[in-house]
Structure 1
Amino acid sequence: MEQVVLSYGDCLLRCSDVCLLDAPHWLNDNVIGFIFEFLASTLPQALTQRIAFLSPEVSQFIKCCEREAPEFLKPLDLPSKDLILLPVNDNAGSEAGGTHWSLLAYVRQFQSYLHYDSAPGTNKPHARLMARSLSALLRGNPAYREENAPAQHNSYDCGMYVVCVAEALCEQLGNGQCGKR
């Protein structure tokens, strides 16, 4: 078994995960999950209670198990959250994998899903499917829209864009500006 480099909250990072931080590699589920866990634990408590950081594994479950997702997610009390952050992967299967990440954010103030894709259009079908699956749990009929996002200029930085946009949205929520252009 490969050596564990870091155990943090519910996340384990191994040597192979940490090596992905050097170019030209894209981030995997473990690294993105760790960064979400770290963000959740370093934000002010009052802000953290308003945000749901869903791990890549939970996001993939939402996409693959549309009918079961609402029941499975009830304990997370997502309807009470002001911001729900979901990493989106282009993997259509149930196993880990895929080649591109983007971020889907539900902003309760606007009753909208905002999709941020550093390679515009690449993950749109996956994000729409996740939004549709999650909508069964949320109140109302949230709108969906593609947002302008910073564009990546290589084939591997998509995961970094996901975590940077997620962090920016958290900051905006803390400043009362979440999702504003």
Structure 2
Amino acid sequence: MADGDEIALSFHDSLLRLSDLRLLEGPRWLNDKIIGFAFEYLEREQFCDFSDDVCFISPEVTQFIKLSPASDLGIFLEPLNLHNKKFIFLAVNDNESCDSVGGSHWSLLVFDRNKGQFGHYDSAGHGNSRIASSLSNKLSTFIKVGPEVKCVDMDCSQQQNSYDCGLFVICNTECLCAQLLRGSQVSVKQAVTQDTVSRKRDQLRTLIVSLGNRGKEKS
């Protein structure tokens, strides 16, 4: 750990340091830790009443699924009970190397059991479409919808820079949860714009700082 890179927040399975928090201060690409925290907050706080219906798969687990042989996934995925979930959310990264971390783009993959298919929401065209389709096929055995499940590129707002893709994933996820779980009639393209995504940076940072301070007060 670098000097001065203290823990900013410990939230269930998420551990964020000051260096992670700084990614939200300016025009920077979000890492898997920030997106993982956002997914966990949606799961444990905002939409906790729907835990039987929805599964948020962390970026780290999604990367493991993507890079591992399908034959190795059973023991890892079976405890998630994906076959019982109505909706499954995954943050997709374009890094396909087993030997290096990183990547350059995030997109959102969502399984909807009512439709029997995956929807892929990509804020920068269709760059992650092949990866999303491959993930969908790998997961089809565990969600029990047949040998090969359809993956459809969905219409969504497009980012106006090279670094907001992770925030689009978070905002699109939040909007879709409101739709699918609470019946919101606002479309993803209406709700998630460059302006709302830009505001989400500050909102996330404020939330993390607030939760971190609350944790310090309890300790």
For residues 133 and 19 of structure 2, what CA distance do their matches in structure 1 show?
31
TM-score, length-scaled by structure 1: 0.93
For residues 101 and 166 of structure 1, what CA distance do their matches in structure 2 show?
12
Tell me how far 1:41 sits from its aligned partner.
1.2
Q: 2:171 — aligned with what?
A: 164
What are the equivalent positions in structure 2 for 1:120-159 lying under 5 Å apart?
120-141=125-146, 142-159=149-166
For residues 50 and 109 of structure 1, what CA distance do their matches in structure 2 show?
12
Tell me how far 1:129 sits from its aligned partner.
1.3
Contact 1:53 1:85 in 2 (8 A): yes
Contact 1:6 1:13 in 2 (8 A): yes
- Gap change, CA 1:78 and 1:98, over 3 Å in 2: same
Greater share of helix residues, 1 or 2? Answer: 2
Q: 2:105 — aligned with what?
A: 100
Show CA shifts across 1:4-63 (max 9, x none): 111001000011100100221011000000011111111343313211000000000111
For residues 184 and 140 of structure 2, what CA distance do their matches in structure 1 show?
23
Q: Does residue 1:119 correspond to 2:127, yes or no?
A: no
Contact 2:42 2:48 in 1 (8 A): no
Tell me how far 1:139 sits from its aligned partner.
1.4
- Gap change, CA 1:66 and 1:150, over 3 Å in 2: farther
Q: 1:79 — aligned with what?
A: 83
Runs (4+) of structure 1 moved beyond 4 Å? Answer: none
Out of 136-145 and 77-86, give the one that drifted further: 136-145
Contact 1:70 1:136 in 2 (8 A): no
Tell me how far 1:173 sits from its aligned partner.
1.6
Q: 1:90 — aligned with what?
A: 94
Residue in structure 1 matching 2:114, options 89, 106, 109: 109
What 5-or-longer segments of structure 2 have no aligned partner?
A: 189-219
Tell me the number of residue pairs that the alignment of Structure 1 and Structure 2 aligns. Answer: 180
SS at match of 1:110: coil
For residues 156 and 57 of structure 1, what CA distance do their matches in structure 2 show?
19
Show CA shifts across 1:46-81 (max 9, x none): 313211000000000111113122331000001111
Contact 1:90 1:99 in 2 (8 A): yes
For residues 176 and 108 of structure 1, what CA distance do their matches in structure 2 show?
16
Contact 1:11 1:37 in 2 (8 A): yes
Q: 2:35 — aligned with what?
A: 32
Tell me how far 1:102 sits from its aligned partner.
0.1
RMSD: 1.7
Which has the greater radius of gyration?
2
TM-score, length-scaled by structure 2: 0.78
Tell me how far 1:146 sits from its aligned partner.
0.3
